[in-house]
Structure 1
Amino acid sequence: MVDVDPRCAMCGISQEDTMHALVLCDFAKNIWNKSNLTIPNIVTNVFHDWFGELLNVLDSDGMLYAAAILYNVWRARNRAVWEATLPRPEMVLKAAAAAKLAWTRAHPLPTARTTTLPIEPVQLQGEFGLHGVELHTAETPHGPPRRLCRVDGGFMQGTGQAIFGAVLLDTNGGYVSAYSGPLQGCSSPLMAEALACKEALSWLKDRGEQNAEIYTDCLTLHHYLTTPTVVLRTYLGYAIDSCRFNASSFQSCSFHLIPRLDNYLAHALATTAYQQFAAMYWDLLPPDIISAYF
């Protein structure tokens, strides 16, 4: 029988469990503080509860960085156990950044990836009750024209300010309309992306559009929107349910993932919204920030 010291090998004070080792230990906490990520401020000793909240506040890029940090904090913990040494927090963050970069280079996003919502009716449960929603993407050559809408949301961590931008194009890439403005009630980049999509869908509906393809560069949002079995009992979940419900009112509506660099029109438009106090529309000519592209 081997006696095992239950104390944390990194701080030598508290009894170690998963939540302490990866999040609550002073060593781990120092690393998270230096990461500049939005970390959920919840009182819990259960790691999967904390991690579930992390999924709600970070976008796909942030989650990839967070996963790399968790892995390297655990490696640092193992060095403390077996070698009685600890790297500096800055070195852990450098290793995490290198791991994130290596992963993204090994798993590049395709130039275009399309995922449509299921043709069969999907039961969506959320704030709005239980809906039998049929979403499809069939072409309707004799109906309203098909439009391409690129959407982007932004969140400024220091001030909590959130904004959105949406650009509507025809199937040849020609300019149709644009829409941008501030967002209310945001607490994270992922929330901003979800509310930006919700705003864009409401705008398209008010315009009378019937056949829309929505393009986002947020991998996590795209996953939620195209996976009907995912149900989140959070404010973010209600925003995603709203997107799905609004999409069901179109003759056809689909969600697509594109690389961030290819979403430059919506991103450029969104960045200007930090100086706006209300939503703005451009129906005849594109705004100056993107006019050079048309």
Structure 2
Amino acid sequence: MCREVLPTAANLITKHVNIVDRCAWCQNYVEDTAHVMFLCDFAREVWAAVGMLSLIAEDPGDTVLQVTKRIFNKGNNEQRAMYGMICWALWYRRNKWVWERVTVSSFGVKSMALNMKTDWSKARKVEEQHEVQQQMRVHTWCKPPEQWIKINTDAACHVNGEMTGLGCVARDDSGQFVRARSRKVQVGHQPRIVEALSMREALSWTKEWRSSRCVFETDAKTLVDAINKVKESQGESMFDTIVDDCRELIKHFEEVLIVFVPRSANSVAHLLAKGAYSMSGLQEWVITAPDFLICNLDLDMV
């Protein structure tokens, strides 16, 4: 409930600006920060609309600092972010009325806060992805950022040109082995096509068990540039068709990056692709890496 106080002196006039000690909205209570943000009926309506009234109005005698501390101690990340946006939108609405006599509804305040939160989340995601890309621009393998999975992929053509090995290996943000997969296909293609086949294989495989925060690395720069282009491939070659397939598979992920790395940072996937020559059909490992990869996996962690 709002705290009612006794009426004070009439409006003061200083430098031709009316100074009113009452709330600009309800006109019943002294306007202080706590009242504007939490106690006024209008503010309570907004907090109720976003499902946060119980956190905000736990004790009517709380100061702004006490409410803020409670939000950060008891609220989740979503509520903490929303708290800041709602406070800004409420203050904006108050000033629009005081200085311009323009009113904004509770729905308008809520919408403004939600839009700001969406823009903020997008900006954070762009910044995070830029950070990921910066970390990927190295000549040795490096761990992905926290909560991301990195999948390295490669292809290797047999000397007789009739067989191609495909390999992909996934590791977590601590550099630990998660999964690996390899297989050989009884066809011979030009290098850029087999690299594209390997990426398509890796995307298709990964989407079965992971849908967000995936970094796919390959040492095929032409492939990475083709996939990351905004427009779909204009050509009708086999390479263009596989690139379009990769783009369709990417749509199954919430957050994904396709990154070029030099061969020196992709050695484990290359070894896996070469190893496919001596294996019978599709091979997959989960949690425990195959013996022939362990040495290279350890080297990447040095």
The structure whose residues are more often helix, as a share, is: 2
- Higher relative contact order, chain-length normalized (CA < 8 Å, sep 6+): 1
What is the TM-score normalised by the length of structure 1? 0.50
The structure whose residues are more often strand, as a share, is: 1
